[in-house]
Amino acid sequence: MTVPTPGYLGWAKVGTSASPTNKVAGVSDLTLPNNTNQYDVSNMDAANAGWEVWIPGLSGSKPTIKCWYDPTDTNGQLVLQNAWLNKTLLYFIFSINGTNTATFTAYVAGFNVHGPVNNANDTTVTLQMTGAIVFA
């Protein structure tokens, strides 16, 4: 039986070259939605008449990193902010459980800073993965 792992073991590393070693500070949530487009190839052939027929297409992901806003995190959050400003390709390693990893490259599609009156300042970074993901 597999024992669930707590989310607080996770981390995100980012860098401008492969195999990044710098963790993003203050991460409170990682999301890695992996999707494959599905294409409708339904037709009027007798074998499939009245039924939808689908084939898989391109796969991709738009991961997100939510963290407590810390502009002094020069090796993590500032790298993400500058990559958004300059449209720089970044290298990432995500670990949801502190053991298994997902390695990929992505552009920063959104860098959203949030300052609520009743909570700490935070930021949500939306990534646009480009190329394949490697799970380990």
pLDDT in tens, 58-73: 999 999 999 999 999 9
Tokens 């007798």 correspond to 46
Per-position DSSP letters for 83-103, written without gaps between them: HHHHT--EEEEEESSSSS-EE
Q: What is the CATH number of the domain that holds 59?
A: 2.30.110.20
How far, in Å, CA of 95 to CA of 109, rounded? 21
How far, in Å, CA of 29 to CA of 98, rounded? 13
Q: What is the pLDDT of residue 45?
A: 84
Q: What is the pLDDT of residue 7?
A: 87
Q: Is 72 domain-assigned?
A: yes
Q: Is 2 domain-assigned?
A: no
pLDDT tens digits, residue range 95-123? 999 999 999 999 999 999 999 999 999 99
Q: Indicate the DSSP class of residue 3.
A: P
Q: Is 41 domain-assigned?
A: no
Does the predicted TM-score (pTM) go above 0.75?
Answer: yes
Count of domains forming the chain: 1
Q: Is 48 domain-assigned?
A: no
How far, in Å, CA of 95 to CA of 10, rounded? 5
Q: What is the pLDDT of residue 121?
A: 97
Q: Is 98 domain-assigned?
A: yes
Structure tokens at 20: 């990044």
Q: Is 22 domain-assigned?
A: yes
Boundaries of domain holding 63: 7-36+55-135
